[in-house]
Amino acid sequence: MTAAMRAAIEASERARGITSPNPPVGAAIVAADGEIVGIGATQPPGGPHAEVMALRAAGERAKGGTAYVTLEPCSHYGRTPPCTQALLAAGISSVFYAVADPNPRAAGGADVLRAAGVKVEGGLLAEDVERGPLRAWLHYARTGRPHVTWKYAASLDGRVAAADGTSRWISSPMSRAEVHDIRRKVDAIVAGTGTIRTDDPQLTAREDDGTLAARQPLRVVVGKTEIDPAARVLDDAAETLHVRSHDPNEVLAALAERGVVDVLLEGGPMLAGAFLRAHRVDRALVYIAPVLLGAGPAALLDAGVNTITQALPFGIEDVTMSGPDVRISAVPVKTE
Amino acid sequence: MTAAMRAAIEASERARGITSPNPPVGAAIVAADGEIVGIGATQPPGGPHAEVMALRAAGERAKGGTAYVTLEPCSHYGRTPPCTQALLAAGISSVFYAVADPNPRAAGGADVLRAAGVKVEGGLLAEDVERGPLRAWLHYARTGRPHVTWKYAASLDGRVAAADGTSRWISSPMSRAEVHDIRRKVDAIVAGTGTIRTDDPQLTAREDDGTLAARQPLRVVVGKTEIDPAARVLDDAAETLHVRSHDPNEVLAALAERGVVDVLLEGGPMLAGAFLRAHRVDRALVYIAPVLLGAGPAALLDAGVNTITQALPFGIEDVTMSGPDVRISAVPVKTE
């Protein structure tokens, strides 16, 4: 019953941005008669996990039912009791999960359930979850580092602005709305002091009508130059952190310390170069607008490549249209 | 019966490169019992047209059958008698064509056939033909100018070579094979004297095993600088024309005079800029390789754009994967 797992994935996606450093898990409970009777997602840290939320929604109908969870249920006592216990207490008879928990402290939930007589199966829609709502958290759980998505919008000929520096708007309204949706779901947006000085971006997530989204990611400015106190990035629309370092590993360590799991790197070309040289870009998300410019700045500078054999190899993960634009998602072929 | 029209389109595609300035038309004859009994394509200038070739293959079985033709059958006496006459003589009872003939001298074939009692219908798979085998010829018939496809391969960050100028090979073997297939089908390949000096390309069409294709397009070098007599573009692999002008309209006029209908513009950035400024790029075919470079030359320079509102607007026609690369086909939103 992939429909129930899809419902769990949707719930998982909606929980992105509020759960870090915990994973934004989604869960759905299907009653013995086949009806989806409860859907839930991880609450902010300290709050109940997805399974508990879904079980609460299902109530008595969970008894003898099946749970669909995007991540293997945890079996450890953290700030909340183990989810395995909640599933057993509710009388769940089968559990399907998408992705195994890579965290050795939390893993083993499947075994605990099996030992208690529950039928357990992993791997259902695993790729959708790994590339989707749990992508950043899985990376963080495996490496200890926040996941970095480097996003830029360029013309078909690879320019991010025209010769005079203007770039509003190189990409379509649909792509811009999509980027605001992504911003809403990440923990932090990162830009360099050069971009702050040149473009004075606010680095906020906005709704389609232009108003500020209810939840704002942390704004992170990277670099040793001071920020102009009048810069928009210092306004009171969201919190802002200035990391006085050019070293991506130092930047990511500072962010991990604050519980940041999912990072959107937005500019500029030198900062992107530094992250790429350090192998700290985990995904490139490129919006290609169908326009030609023939002059203007590039998205990337100084990536440590001098000759073609040193080119940084990526693999195309996904190509889709975003309105009139082409959106390419690419991941490094090798990362440390 | 779109299968017959698809067979005609395939025949049409195979005839590309040998028919100019005539259109590479394809035809298929379906007998009264529904079997495809003849397929044909336009022969080189002076030779029979597609309908005649297909009728010859069908023989007696054409009687009472249906003809599928990618272009409206011609009704005029040129170097060969009208195809309408051949269809009537063969006893064809129905004709489906994809695209109406834009040439006022040849058009009217549908009316001639209808007047003789043949059932005629146009528009079957018209878009496949317009974007496919007859694209260049239709442009030529409508404007009097050869159709120009500007092709380039770039990294994900828009570089066509690394900082040291190396670019072999930025795109995948599959994309390169595809480009050789395109070269085989065009009438001429155009490059600037700068590209000839810098890269010393041979500008030939090659088979997958590296041998020269049986048919070679005209090699055209554009610019006022003399070509080094030792340049590979002057070898005896194919004919070469040096057009001593930077004006795209003059270049295209010189090519039209030689019966060139379908042009592949391959380099470099200044020549592409000149063609774009003159509105003489009819299609951009971009191979984006999933690598990052962070330095190196761009595909396009000096396109006459200084600020973002002057960006040259294109529309994405098609996005496909070519092995690991992303291939984007884009057409100008407005052309003269």
Note the pLDDT tens digit of each residue in B222-237.
Answer: 999 999 999 999 999 9
The region of weakest confidence among A173-177, A332-336, B150-154 is A332-336
Does the model's pTM come out above 0.95? no
Q: Given CB atoms, is A251 within the 8 Å cutoff of chain B?
A: no
CA-based R_g, chain B, Å = 21
Does the pLDDT of residue A335 top 50, yes or no?
Answer: no
pLDDT in tens, A191-216: 999 999 999 999 999 999 999 999 99
pLDDT confidence bin for B106, thresholds 50/70/90: low
pLDDT in tens, A249-278: 999 999 999 999 999 999 899 999 999 999
Can you say whether residue A221 is alpha, beta or left, with left for phi > 0 and alpha for psi between -120 and 50 degrees?
beta
For chain B, what percent of residues have pLDDT higher than 70?
Answer: 99
DSSP summary character for residue A214: S
The region of weakest confidence among A90-99, A175-184, B161-170 is B161-170
For chain A, what percent of residues have pLDDT higher than 90?
Answer: 91
pLDDT confidence bin for B103, thresholds 50/70/90: confident
Does the pLDDT of residue B104 top 80, yes or no?
Answer: no
- B158 with A157: CB under 8 angstroms? yes
Nearest residue to B192 (alpha-carbon basis) of B203, B208, B207: B203
* DSSP conformation letters of B72-114: PPP-S-SSS--HHHHHHHTT--EEEEEE----TTT--HHHHHH
Does the pLDDT of residue B336 top 70, yes or no?
Answer: no
pLDDT at A106: 66
Q: Which of A168, A292, A307 sits opposite B162 (nearest CB)?
A: A307
DSSP summary character for residue B157: T
Does the pLDDT of residue B335 top 60, yes or no?
Answer: no
pLDDT at A336: 45
Closest approach of A327 to chain B, Cα-based (Å): 10
Nearest residue to A265 (alpha-carbon basis) of A234, A304, A221: A221
pLDDT confidence bin for A122, thresholds 50/70/90: very high
pLDDT at B153: 96
pLDDT in tens, B36-51: 999 999 999 999 999 9
Q: Which of A168, A305, A330 sits opposite B162 (nearest CB)?
A: A305
Determine whether the interchain pair A154/B158 forms a contact, defined as Cβ–Cβ distance below 8 Å: yes
Give ipTM to 2 decimals: 0.92
A41 annotated binding-site participant: no
- Complete domains list, chain B, with CATH: 1-134 (3.40.140.10), 147-332 (3.40.430.10)
Closest approach of A169 to chain B, Cα-based (Å): 8
pLDDT confidence bin for B21, thresholds 50/70/90: very high
Average pLDDT of A110-135?
96
Pure H helices in B105-199: 109-115, 126-131, 135-143, 173-185, 193-199
